[in-house]
Structure 1
Amino acid sequence: MITAVLWDFGGVLTTSPFEAFNRFEKEHGLPENFLRTVNSTNPDTNAWAKFERSEISADEFDGLFQSESSSLGHSVAGKEVIALLSGDIRPKMVAALKEISKDRKCYCLTNNVPAGQGPGMSRSEEARAAVAEVMSLFDEVIESSKIGMRKPDPKIYEYACNRMGVSADEVLYLDDLGINLKPAALMGMKTIKVISEQQALTDLGRALGQTYL
């Protein structure tokens, strides 16, 4: 029995920041997926991991990321990457969230960085207002930069279950990264890997016995 739905933010309720990464790479003559390669090299101790746990400042991240990217062959300032993190809201996913939140607990679990204003960072004032409206639909928003833990550390999923007051087998969890879903599934959560909006809505409907398309 699913009593709680746990939602990632970027790549689930918004378009994926990886799309912006790929545009940046094309515009700057970088290899495809270069930025993701930097972020996945030494994934627990690199600049990105430290930034998402609030262990370093934005200025420190800027320099560390540039050093790490340079060591892999191309120099990219960390601040340029931060500017790429904002995706576009997916209206149909938000509509599904509104419907699901009427009779189930809905929490957001997001890896983010201590720059700007939480999940709405690097956006225009109008876009930040739209993000704030989405955030208001959740019972709680759990941010890696505020609690000092980040996905896929199993401890953050235990933390989320405690906050929701449920056991893992009562949770449906949506994320666009398989690496984040794996430890949650091992704990007993039902998981959905979000590849596209339509696919996610179809899988949501199948898991909850509803129609959200």
Structure 2
Amino acid sequence: MSERRFEAVIFDFGGVITASPFEAFNRLEEERGLPADFIRRVNAANPHDNAWARFERAEIDARRFDVLFEAEAEAMGHPLEGRAVLAVLSGAIRPAMVRALGQLAGAGYRLACITNNVPAGHGAGMARSDDTKDAYEQVFARFEHVIESSKAGVRKPDPRIYQMMCGHLGLEPAQCVYLDDLGINCKPAAALGMAAIKVTSGAQALADLSQLVGLDLG
């Protein structure tokens, strides 16, 4: 019997285990009469040192984020307070992904999670409500190890966060599969030697992952 290529599957949380937060951002933009993807554009400007990046590293608190994000949004032509963005962050968990976690664990794969999040909300994943907190914590309990940017002080795409995970797992990057909905976060994982999957939908992610691990996760 041939040796298995991978030992661990490492998941992003928002946009992979849960529906994409960008969907919620688009709804907020529509409600406020803002251009589509405006929030993403604000967060993409000065991506390593803007309000969003600093908040994900826990360098500022929610009150300071509210002020700084609003100033950044106004500088790009539209008023939008940061607290409104935080209010829509939590995404619905994808049941098919949760089922896949069970299948992977049953087949002997180790499971982990690297997530960029902000120090606002409650419990694992910084949920926005008690119900969401409970649901998130049930999923987080399935992972052998979780790295949250707001607690680690480092965020994707910094290569150090992927190296931290490999260190915790005691594995080489080449022994790991990594899933993320942002290409910019997949690139450093792939550069280190991980098999990176860019997630565009739950079905696509599970199909691609199935091919890599030799399981039918669909």
Tell me the TM-score normalized by structure 1.
Answer: 0.97
Equivalent pairs, count: 212
Question: 2: distance between equivalents of 1:5 and 1:120?
Answer: 22
Give the equivalent residue in structure 2 for 1:119: 125
Classify the secondary structure of the residue corresponding to 1:149: coil
Gaps of 5+ in 2: none
Q: Which runs of 5+ in 1 are unaligned?
A: none
The alpha-carbon deviation at position 86 of structure 1 amounts to 0.7
CA distance in 2, matches of 1:9, 1:166: 21
Q: Which residue is 2:81 aligned to?
A: 77
Whole-angstrom distance in 2 between the partners of 1:163 and 1:80: 35
Encode CA deviations 1:66-107: one digit per residue, 9 max, x unaligned: 000010001111111111111111001111011212311111
Tell me which moved more, 83-92 or 114-123. 114-123
Matches within 5 A, 1:198-209: 198-209=203-214
Preserved contact between residue 15 and residue 90 of structure 1 (Cα < 8 Å)? yes
Aligned to 1:173: 178
| Aligned residue among 20, 24, 30 for 1:20 | 24
- Which segments of structure 1 move beyond 2 Å, counting only runs of 4 or more? none
CA contact 2:119–2:126 (8 Å) conserved in 1: no
**For 1:122, what is the secondary structure of its paired residue?**
coil
1:86 aligns with 2:90: yes
2:168 is the alignment partner of 1:163? yes
| CA apart distance, 1:39 | 0.3
- CA–CA distance in 1 between the matches of 2:86 and 2:131? 19
What is the aligned-residue RMSD (CA, Å)?
0.9
3-state SS, counterpart of residue 10 of structure 2: strand
Q: Secondary structure at the match of 1:11?
A: helix
Any conservation in 2 of the 1:120–1:127 contact (CA below 8 Å)?
Answer: no
From 126, 130, 136, the counterpart of 2:141: 136
Percent sequence identity is: 51
Question: How many Å separate the matches in 2 of 1:37 and 1:72?
Answer: 9
> Residue in 2 aligned with 1:187?
192
Normalising by structure 2, report the TM-score. 0.95
Inter-partner Cα distance in structure 1 for 2:159 and 2:143: 22
The answer (yes or no) to whether the contact 2:8–2:109 under 8 Å persists in 1 is yes
